[in-house]
Amino acid sequence: MKSMKISVRELAEYAYKRGSIDEKFRSSKALSEGTAIHQAVQKEYKETEEKEVYLDFLYEMEEMTLHIHGRCDGVLRSEEGLVIDEIKSTSLEAEELEEDFFPEHWGQAYGYAYMYCEREQLEGINVQLTYVQKASKKKIRYLRYLTVEQLAEEVRFMVEAYTPYALTLVRMRAQKHETLPKLGFPYPSYREGQRTFAGSVYRTAREGRTLFAQAPTGIGKTISSLFPGVKAMEEGDFEQLYYATAKTTTRETAEEAIRLMQEEGASLTAVTLTAKDKICFQEETICQPEYCSFADGYYDRINDALVDILTNESLLDRSTIETYARKHHICPFEYSLDLTNAADIVIGDYNYVYDPRVALKRLSRDRTKKMGLLVDEAHNLVERARDMYSASLSASDFETLPSLVESDRAGSLAASIASDISSLFPENQREVSIDEIPGVMEERLEAFVEETESFLRDLLPEEQNETVMNVYFGSQHFLNMLEQKDDNFVYIGKEKEELKLYCLNPRTVVKRITDAYRFSVYFSATLSPFAYYKEMLGGTPEDYILKLPSPFSREQIDTIFTPLSTRFRDRERTARDVSDSLKKQTETWPGNHLFFFPSYSYLELIHSYAKEWGKEIVVQERNMDEERKSEFLAQFTEESEIIGFAVLGGVFSEGVDLKGDRLRGVAVVGVALPPRDIEKELIHRYFENQDRNGYNYAYVYPGMNKVLQAGGRLIRSEEDHGVLQFIDDRFMTPVYRGLLPEEWKNK
């Protein structure tokens, strides 16, 4: 018989939750607050009373069996008899909290009570909801007695409400497991290196390990990671994959790979997560019923919307989600998040996994231990993670708050924090690092957050001040990162204005997150040098490593090394020579070319000379949106002779496929070293103290990764041929030359 497992909480929320999305202010520490409140109440239990009691029950129906399970907060003993206690924290004041305000809470408690009665053969039991007000810690209790027959009726209602969705999920799971054994590789043959990569991913998934793989352009990384990941699901060790990527183009490539497997007969459901501000139907993203009709009544309509889309669609990309969201008049962003519970594959940005500010609450430990993690373009994650785990406070922002907040205490604390930041650093130093901040400052920051929360909770969106909200959330993030602080972090002060908790090495935090998943695969065409990226992303000696050669031949690339200095001090002097070298490339190899520069200012300098070439030149603009980016690339046709000027590390140096005659040549001007600043110097010093080459870790490796990405735009298939020019005398030295792929060193 068909069966599935579901927690009491999930069952109750599905059946009872009604009403609207109402994202009024909430503390970002809600989960940890709730845990602390639960523990505080449970400490008050008598020695004879039980807490965290595991209960389960098999609910059999004609169509299927539901395995309902969960942990009851408490089984108490009172004069009235046994009591099932369900503890909930709330921001509502006591007078607002009516007994039936949250029917899903009663539903959860009824579920535990029914299972306990069945287990202990009781005729009835007391059911209690214990609410704890977060700010005051005041307890409000509601107590009811129900017979086992009444409890059975409550559970029957929840099960009947859930059954259509459950049957949909069971059907999807059965079809998946029926079709996966028959699924073959969706291409006639494997490319060189592709089978090796796919086999390594499969082995990693089956064994629950971590793999770091450098898979050069042309191998087909996306299908070579997704296909074995999907095939490994056959054994039932895990149920879902999260495909993490940083760019729209790679998300689209993942969707195409899934479409190919579906066309081969695989019954798979995949959902793509799109940022809220991009997918929102409204001009302003205000998720409250009085402002957005798609939020109004969302929970009244979501259950039908889930069954509808899962019955009729399998590739839930942005367009499909928007279509069904409009059909059912619901928020498309929340819709996509709710679909992650049912999808076999979730495609989304890194931040939904790694960023503590926006990571999906749905990715609980219970979920991730049954989920595989595929991290595409993993070289991008190092700097992204550094940014995610760093936090800043601005003295000037705190100075403005006393006139903006209603609370005198919050204003006073803000003024003190501003003074604390300014007094941390010597008068004559613009930038400085320190090991610790005074404990009193941390206490003030905690008090400020708590005090600010107390009045922000009651504000409507139009009453919220943007500066106050930014300072509050920035302070909250700073405190959260303080909990992570170890030797991998340092404090930086700038201009007596900014205090920054800077993450020098994200490996510890990244590894902690990765360890929660069944398995993980980090892959990129440019994990070079390999040891650097493995270390920065939390790799261990036990992890698998794979470094594959390029599937392309040396004969496809004509490589030129032009030993001119592009150092900042020499740029004006060598600009004419750089321009002449680029012009010669376009004359020797007619067609379309892309030239990459380390900065906009340097690009503009060379462009001023290139205007004399008499050729059609297009230039990357600052802050180009997707439409402008598409227009830029559309000019590169097989018949055109376009010269594109772009920036290393920008939107055109990754994820761009101009195959065949759409791109004849690429030139990389400079080694793309990051500008020298206090953060890079601290990274330099940190790794020197770790017996590493600190200069390479801080400057050379990040810069050369941009070079490798830009150079990789040239050859995208076995049929491509072209010229690749490196303009900088440092490319002739062993350090930089050694970081280039072998097939780029032919001349």
Q: Rounded mean pLDDT of 516-527?
A: 95
Model pTM greater than 0.95?
A: no
The pLDDT of residue 708 is 94
Using CB atoms within 10 A of its CB, is residue 705 exposed (0-12), middle (13-18) or buried (19+)?
Answer: buried
Q: Inform me whether the pLDDT recorded for 28 exceeds 70.
A: no
Q: Rounded mean pLDDT of 355-368?
A: 82
Domain extent listing, the chain: 3-173, 207-384+508-538, 390-499, 554-744
Q: Rounded mean pLDDT of 259-286?
A: 93
The pLDDT of residue 24 is 59
Q: Do strands 124-133 and 139-147 pair parallel, antiparallel, or not at all (unpaired)? A: antiparallel
- CA quadruple 599, 601, 606, 607: dihedral sign: positive
Judged by average pLDDT, the poorest of 129-143, 225-239, 267-281, 427-441 is: 427-441
* Average pLDDT value for the chain: 92
- Cβ neighbors of 688 (< 8 A, separation 6 or more) are 694
Asked if omega into 529 is within 30° of 0 (cis), the reply is yes
C-alpha to C-alpha distances, 298 to 10, 91, 157, 279, nearest whole angstrom: 17, 21, 21, 16
Q: Rounded mean pLDDT of 503-515?
A: 95
Please give the CATH superfamily to which domain 207-384+508-538 belongs: P-loop containing nucleotide triphosphate hydrolases (3.40.50.300)
Higher pLDDT, 304 or 452: 304
The pLDDT of residue 459 is 67
The DSSP symbol for 264 reads T
C-alpha to C-alpha distances, 201 to 374, 500, 681, nearest whole angstrom: 9, 39, 37
CATH number of the 3-173 domain:
3.90.320
State the DSSP H helix or E strand holding residue 456, giving kind and residue range, or none if neither. helix 439-456
Q: Inform me whether the pLDDT recorded for 464 exceeds 90.
A: no
C-alpha to C-alpha distances, 693 to 212, 505, 672, 699, 728, nearest whole angstrom: 22, 14, 18, 10, 22
Confidence category of residue 23, pLDDT binned at 50, 70, 90: low
C-alpha to C-alpha distances, 572 to 60, 246, 582, 595, 598, nearest whole angstrom: 80, 35, 16, 18, 15
Tokens for 238, please give them. 């895990």
Placement of tokens 């997150």 in the chain: 513
User: Distance from CA of residue 663 to its chain's centroid?
Assistant: 32
Residue 410 exposure: Cα atoms within 13 Å on the Cβ side: 21
* Helix/strand/coil for 52: strand
The DSSP symbol for 78 reads E
Q: Alpha-carbon distance 609 to 597, whole Å? A: 14
Which fold does the domain 390-499 belong to in CATH? Fumarase C; Chain B, domain 1 (1.10.275)
- Which residues on neighbouring strands pair with residue 345, listed in sequence order? 241, 270
Beta strands in 111-239 (DSSP E): 124-133, 139-147, 210-214
Residue 197 burial (CB count, 10 A): 26
Using CB atoms within 10 A of its CB, is residue 486 exposed (0-12), middle (13-18) or buried (19+)?
Answer: exposed
Q: Alpha-carbon distance 499 to 444, whole Å? A: 15
Q: Alpha-carbon distance 132 to 34, whole Å? A: 9
The pLDDT of residue 461 is 64
Q: Inform me whether the pLDDT recorded for 675 exceeds 60.
A: yes
Measured in degrees and rounded to the nearest 5, phi and psi for residue 84 equal: -90, 120
Q: Rounded mean pLDDT of 284-295?
A: 87
The pLDDT of residue 321 is 98
Q: Which residue type is seen at 705?
A: N
The pLDDT of residue 32 is 56
* Helix/strand/coil for 71: strand
The pLDDT of residue 27 is 56
Q: Rounded mean pLDDT of 619-644?
A: 92
The DSSP symbol for 241 reads E
The pLDDT of residue 218 is 83
Give tens-digit pLDDT for 552-583.
888 889 999 999 999 999 999 999 999 999 99
The pLDDT of residue 647 is 97
- Cβ neighbors of 315 (< 8 A, separation 6 or more) are 255, 258, 259, 262, 269, 270
The pLDDT of residue 57 is 95
Measured in degrees and rounded to the nearest 5, phi and psi for residue 715 equal: -105, 110
- CA quadruple 290, 291, 293, 296: dihedral sign: negative
Tokens for 400, please give them. 């403005």
> In angstroms, what is the C-alpha Rg of the chain?
29
Q: Alpha-carbon distance 747 to 736, whole Å? A: 15
Q: Inform me whether the pLDDT recorded for 512 exceeds 90.
A: yes
Judged by average pLDDT, the poorest of 64-68, 243-247, 613-617, 640-644 is: 243-247
- Which residues on neighbouring strands pair with residue 560, listed in sequence order? 725
Which class does domain 554-744 fall in? alpha beta
The answer to whether the 3-173 and 390-499 domains have the same CATH topology is no
Least Cα distance to 219 among 630, 547, 631 occurs for 547
Q: Inform me whether the pLDDT recorded for 31 exceeds 60.
A: no
The pLDDT of residue 30 is 52
Q: Alpha-carbon distance 646 to 72, whole Å? A: 59
Q: Inform me whether the pLDDT recorded for 547 exceeds 90.
A: yes
- CA quadruple 166, 167, 171, 177: dihedral sign: positive
- Which residues on neighbouring strands pair with residue 142, listed in sequence order? 129
* Helix/strand/coil for 191: coil
Give tens-digit pLDDT for 653-669.
887 888 888 999 999 99
Percentage with pLDDT > 70 across the chain? 97
Q: Rounded mean pLDDT of 320-345?
A: 96
Judged by average pLDDT, the poorest of 24-28, 249-253, 718-722 is: 24-28
Q: Alpha-carbon distance 181 to 235, whole Å? A: 10
Least Cα distance to 671 among 599, 723, 623 occurs for 599
The pLDDT of residue 192 is 86
Q: Are 154 and 107 spatial neighbours (Cβ–Cβ below 8 Å)?
A: yes
Confidence category of residue 134, pLDDT binned at 50, 70, 90: confident
Least Cα distance to 525 among 655, 633, 667 occurs for 655
Q: Inform me whether the pLDDT recorded for 399 exceeds 60.
A: yes
Confidence category of residue 25, pLDDT binned at 50, 70, 90: low
Least Cα distance to 469 among 483, 479, 459 occurs for 459
Percentage with pLDDT > 90 across the chain? 73
Tokens for 619, please give them. 């230039």
Tokens for 637, please give them. 């046709």
C-alpha to C-alpha distances, 245 to 441, 510, 521, 653, nearest whole angstrom: 38, 15, 12, 16
Angle, helices 571-588 vs 600-610, to 10°: value is: 60
The pLDDT of residue 82 is 95
Tokens for 71, please give them. 């942990």
C-alpha to C-alpha distances, 493 to 386, 487, 501, 681, nearest whole angstrom: 17, 17, 9, 14
